[in-house]
Structure 1
Amino acid sequence: MKGLKKTRRIQIILLAFVLLVGSTALIGYAMRDGINLFRAPAEVIAEPPAPGEVFRLGGLVEPGSIKRGQGETITFNVTDGAEVIPVAFTGVLPDLFSEGQGMIGTGQMQDGTFVASEILAKHDETYMPKEVMEALKEQGVYKDPGAPNG
Structure 2
Amino acid sequence: MIQETINSMKGELTGLLTQKTGLTADKAGPAVDLAKDNILSGLQKEATGGNIGGLMSMLKGGNTASNPIVTNIVNQYAGSLISKLGLPEAMSKQVATFAVPFILSKFQSQTAGKSDGDIASMLGGDLGGGMGDMLKKGLGGLGGLGGMFGK
TM-score by length of 1: 0.28
Q: Which of the pair has the greater relative contact order for Cα pairs under 8 Å at 6+ separation? A: 2
Rg larger in structure: 1
Write 1 or 2 for the structure with the bigger share of strand. 1
TM-score by length of 2: 0.27
Write 1 or 2 for the structure with the bigger share of helix. 2
